[in-house]
């Protein structure tokens, strides 16, 4: 008889695609070598507020792509600390370029899977979380790789304070349906949408990204905003 899969084994299923891309420019490579060690979230982090002394809240973006949304939210909210997770090195290099050029002191980054970070955080440390256009894994046999799974939502909910806001967006219809079902099945994420425009129109504070404008999915973007209870 074999043992049931452990949470560690389940976590080993990768939820994201490639982590490498085209060669970095010399400027990007220099930033990765110099700034990434300075800005990286330390291993074993428990209290995210410890990274941002004096900031009123800590927000998290999971899978920030090229960093446009992360950097712009940091510019708009200098009184907030933002953690961005992105395993793709080219995306990380682009984000570091924006952080450097704008002198943003309220951003820390993790070039890795966000799930171990969430699992290690003390309860109620996050006030806002963005999960924008994660890898959709549209084929049926791939869908076990989707990020929005029960174990992930349990870790996410624990890491968020009551009343925290969580935004999920996708342009793949099957993922939108599945994600909404999983969030509601968890029971700790309240969805207050009342009409179609609540999920069909981008929220007023959204920052459009290059990925979004490519329109690679099979539907218009779906926006799901939740409040944790």
- Euclidean distance between CA atoms 85 and 16, whole angstroms: 12
User: What domain range is 31 assigned to?
Assistant: 20-228
The answer to pTM > 0.85 is yes
Q: Considering its fold, how many domains does the chain have in total?
A: 1
12 occurs within a structural domain: no
Measured CA to CA in angstroms, residue 130 lies from 25, 82, 206 at distances of: 28, 11, 10
Q: Are 126 and 161 in contact (CB under 8 A)?
A: yes
153 occurs within a structural domain: yes
Confidence at residue 1, expressed as pLDDT on a 0 to 100 scale: 34
By C-alpha distance, which of 59, 136, 147, 1 is closest to 51? Answer: 59
215 occurs within a structural domain: yes
Confidence at residue 174, expressed as pLDDT on a 0 to 100 scale: 95
Task: Identify the active-site residue in 3, 112, 135, 190.
Answer: 135
Q: Is 93 left (phi over 0), alpha (psi -120 to 50) or beta?
A: alpha
By C-alpha distance, which of 56, 50, 86 is closest to 71? Answer: 86
Confidence at residue 69, expressed as pLDDT on a 0 to 100 scale: 97
10 occurs within a structural domain: no
Q: Are 58 and 112 in contact (CB under 8 A)?
A: no
Instruction: Confirm whether 135 is a catalytic residue.
Output: yes
Q: pLDDT tens digits, residue range 159-202?
A: 999 999 999 999 999 999 999 999 999 999 999 999 999 999 99
2 occurs within a structural domain: no
DSSP secondary structure letter of residue 59? E
Pairing of strands 107-110, 189-191: unpaired
Under-70 pLDDT residues of the chain: 1-22
Q: Are 57 and 128 in contact (CB under 8 A)?
A: yes
8 occurs within a structural domain: no
161 occurs within a structural domain: yes
By C-alpha distance, which of 113, 176, 187 is closest to 150? Answer: 187
CATH number of 93's domain:
3.40.50.150
- Euclidean distance between CA atoms 48 and 219, whole angstroms: 35
Q: pLDDT tens digits, residue range 122-145?
A: 999 999 999 999 999 888 887 899
By C-alpha distance, which of 91, 98, 160 is closest to 129? Answer: 160
Q: Are 112 and 85 in contact (CB under 8 A)?
A: yes
1 occurs within a structural domain: no
């Amino acid at each position: 008889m074999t043992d049931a899969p452990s949470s560690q084994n389940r976590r080993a299923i990768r939820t994201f695609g490639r982590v490498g891309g085209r060669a970095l420019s010399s400027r990007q490579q220099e930033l990765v070598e110099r700034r990434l060690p300075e800005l990286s979230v330390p291993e074993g982090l428990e209290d995210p507020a410890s990274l941002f002394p004096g900031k009123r809240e800590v927000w998290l973006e999971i899978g920030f792509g090229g960093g446009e949304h992360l950097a712009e939210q940091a510019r708009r909210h200098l009184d907030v600390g933002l953690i961005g997770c992105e395993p793709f090195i080219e995306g990380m290099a682009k984000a570091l370029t924006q952080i450097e050029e704008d002198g943003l002191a309220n951003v820390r980054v993790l070039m890795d899977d966000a799930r171990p970070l969430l699992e290690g955080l003390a309860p109620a440390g996050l006030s806002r979380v963005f999960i924008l256009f994660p890898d959709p894994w549209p084929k049926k046999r791939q869908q076990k790789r989707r990020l929005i799974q029960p174990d992930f939502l349990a870790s996410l909910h624990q890491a968020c304070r009551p009343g925290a806001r969580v935004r999920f967006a996708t342009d793949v219809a099957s993922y939108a349906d599945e994600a909404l079902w999983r969030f509601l099945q968890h029971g700790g994420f309240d969805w207050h949408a009342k009409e179609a425009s609540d999920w069909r129109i981008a929220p007023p504070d959204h920052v459009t990204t290059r990925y979004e404008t490519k329109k690679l999915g099979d539907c218009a973007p779906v926006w799901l905003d939740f409040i944790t209870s």
